[in-house]
Structure 1
Amino acid sequence: STTTADFLTGIHFNKDGTKMFTLYQCNSEDSDNCYVNEYNLSTPFDISTKSYAGDDERCELDHGLDSQNRLADLEFSSDGMKLFTVHGDHVGDDADDDNIYRFDLTSPFDISTCTFNHKTTNLDSDTFQDGSNAGDFIEKDPSGRNKNRAQGFEINEDGTKVFVVMMGAGTQNNRLLEYQLSTPYDLTTMTLITNAGINLTDLPTTNVMSIRFSANGKRLFGVDHNTHKVYQISLGSAYDTSSYTLDGIVNINSLTSDSVAEIRAISFNTNGLKLYIGNDRDDGTDNRIYEFDLVCPFNIITGKCPSITENSDRTGMAEAQ
């Protein structure tokens, strides 16, 4: 199934799949499209049954953002009371200022009540960039496109870890950095974990954007904007990038008759049997969200399904047959 959007950079669902949220990237000169939209789904997690909740139900992100350009990825706290997005840029006045922003809600997943709470310290600083397993930031061209920028992020289930995708030095310095939060969901308490992180260029990737974890935190998925591919990585321990294995790569164009050329967003339903990929309008078509059914939870690679005893969803499926 597909659904049109405006300039899509993030997708998220509430726990029961009756609401879908889409993040819109702000224009550099006009913040009128700087918001998160809400859609009601009459059938949970079925995007073909969507209906727009209305402009009054939006979260207007420009109320609190220092910079209203290049917003990417969308995340909520596990209780739905906090909303997060990331700003990353590589040119102009904001080229050296990347931040994750937190907005608070008065009731779970009611984004119309969002208010800005706080943001991270500048992620481009050496303290947040250098010294981890992912490698240090490489700045090839101080004057322009090769500056560092945040393009995706994810927060673990209890809010004690943040994972950020950084793009720098063209396609030669793609990294995933892992951070600790000493106070859950408090971005001001964030510190770099030096014995973790992934040099994404080694996988190889060229332009990773949105990322998502499996429900148990042992698998990580990312979309590559340039190559139209989705990466699946298995971790040695849940939400710990110090040990990992690349399971495989899938080209989204092999799964749909459409030409999907500008993917920026990824999401799953709660049990991991549905995958959602967002494609933006840079490819000359309407921005769309593509919904895919998976054979087993949180797996897109042939031969990598978890054992039946390992996964409760698959256990239920087996018993019902």
Structure 2
Amino acid sequence: MFVVGGEKDMLLEYTLSTGYDLTTLTYAGNKERYNLHISNATGDPQPRGIAFNNDGTEMFILGNAADEVNEYHLATAFDISTASHDSRIDITATVGTGPNDLKFSADGTKMFITNNTTTKIFVFTLTIGFDVITASLTSTEDFSAYVNAKFRGLVFNPDGTKMLVISKGSNKKVNEFRLSTGFDLTTASYVANYDITSYETDPHGVAFNNDGSTMYILGTTGDDVNEFTLPYAYSLVLPPTITVTAPNGGETLTGGSTTTITWTSVNISANVKIEYSKDGFSSDTNTITTSTTDDGSYIWTIPNDPSSTVTVRISDVADATVNDVS
């Protein structure tokens, strides 16, 4: 496990005899730590975020003093004592002062940076994966409509369809978002939050174990890492589901009459889309309503569209992959 020093310029390494089990943690020793500023004049004396490429041979440190991202090459994967400075980019003009954390997409072609003075996440595109010199700002996504607090740490699940962000100030929470397209923040919808005030009043970083069953929160109040068991992989809550309860087969419906479509749902957005098909949605799809409130029922006026078999599909407006068919 690696921890940056915040107000100090040290990157510290800890060894866990059992993977991801903090109770087995021991400090690797001063010989294994890395001075991010003195060791390289181009480093930053106030490191905040840390990330690695997939094989651990490149390390990225987000700095709060010079507002920059520094890239280091590791001669031995994940061995910070073998680090040497590669390159840096100044993000003062794009992110501004107060950068706090950075993460990459799975292929390294997107870099995400939070700033602890705003609810925005800054998205950079890298023309060469995990090469920060090729990074350019492509969008700035504002989440103030969902969270009334400034952002600090963030983390994604492996395919980028879930994102957790820490908010600070009076709203010390872990906020979960679902992305219908992986690592595309424009497709994000708010799912839930978890208040961590009773555990940490100055949270900074957040991470998962390798299967998403455990979440870790790093904070400065107790200078500690808090470990949480999650109810579902990479999620604070039950996964989103929809179940169509009617029609459920065997009904005879006549054109011009009405029937009530009913369903149950868990943790989806506020609205659902309802469609019907005469061939099981193989090639025939017809819209009943593009959006209706997720209240569990919808009165449908049957169209004059004769068929011996009709199925109904209900999907989450925010994420069409969350659906069920009668």
Q: Which residue of 2 aligns with 1:202?
A: 145
Q: Distance in 2 between matches of 1:100 and 1:305?
A: 39
Q: 1:69 Cα deviation (Å)?
A: 4.1
Q: What is the letter of the counterpart of residue 48 of structure 1? A: T
Partner of residue 153 from structure 1, selected from 102, 111, 131: 102
Is 2:166–2:205's contact at 8 Å kept on the other side of the alignment?
yes
Is 1:299–1:305's contact at 8 Å kept on the other side of the alignment?
no
Q: Which residue of 1 aligns with 2:181?
A: 237
How big is each residue's C-alpha offset from its partner over 1:202-228, in whole Å with a ceiling of 9 and x where there is no partner?
222322111110111111111112222
Q: 1:301 Cα deviation (Å)?
A: 2.4
More helix as a share of residues: 1
Q: Which residue of 1 aligns with 2:193?
A: 249
How big is each residue's C-alpha offset from its partner over 1:235-274, in whole Å with a ceiling of 9 and x where there is no partner?
1211111211011111014xxxx54211111010011111
Q: Distance in 1 between matches of 2:40 and 2:58?
A: 14
Larger Rg: 2
Q: Distance in 1 between matches of 2:32 and 2:45?
A: 22
Q: Which residue of 2 aligns with 1:52?
A: 27
Partner of residue 70 from structure 1, selected from 32, 35, 46: 46
Q: Which residue of 2 aligns with 1:263?
A: 203
Secondary structure of the residue aligned to 2:144 is: helix
Secondary structure of the residue aligned to 1:56 is: helix
Is 1:296–1:305's contact at 8 Å kept on the other side of the alignment?
no
Is 1:167–1:175's contact at 8 Å kept on the other side of the alignment?
no
Q: 1:305 Cα deviation (Å)?
A: 8.1
More strand as a share of residues: 2
Question: In angstroms, what is the RMSD of aligned CA positions?
Answer: 2.2
Q: Distance in 2 between matches of 1:78 and 1:278?
A: 22
Residues 71, 181 of structure 1: alpha-carbon distance in 2 compared, 3 angstrom cutoff: same
Q: What is the letter of the counterpart of residue 72 of structure 2? A: F
Q: Distance in 2 between matches of 1:148 and 1:38?
A: 27
Q: What is the letter of the counterpart of residue 287 of structure 1? A: D
Alignment pair present for 1:179 and 2:124: yes
Q: Which residue of 2 aligns with 1:112?
A: 81
Q: What is the letter of the counterpart of residue 155 of structure 1? A: F
Q: Distance in 1 between matches of 2:61 and 2:208?
A: 18
Secondary structure of the residue aligned to 1:201 is: coil
Secondary structure of the residue aligned to 2:186 is: strand
TM-score for both structures, normalised by structure 1: 0.70
In structure 1, the gaps of 5 or more residues are 1-19, 27-32, 90-96, 130-146, 308-321
Percent identity over paired residues: 21
Q: Which residue of 1 aligns with 2:12?
A: 37
Q: Which residue of 1 aligns with 2:250?
A: none
Alignment pair present for 1:212 and 2:187: no
Q: Which has the higher contact order (CA 8 A, sep 6+)?
A: 1
Residues 99, 288 of structure 1: alpha-carbon distance in 2 compared, 3 angstrom cutoff: same
Q: Which residue of 2 aligns with 1:100?
A: 69
TM-score for both structures, normalised by structure 2: 0.69
Secondary structure of the residue aligned to 2:187 is: strand
Is 2:119–2:147's contact at 8 Å kept on the other side of the alignment?
no
Is 1:211–1:221's contact at 8 Å kept on the other side of the alignment?
yes
Residues 65, 185 of structure 1: alpha-carbon distance in 2 compared, 3 angstrom cutoff: farther
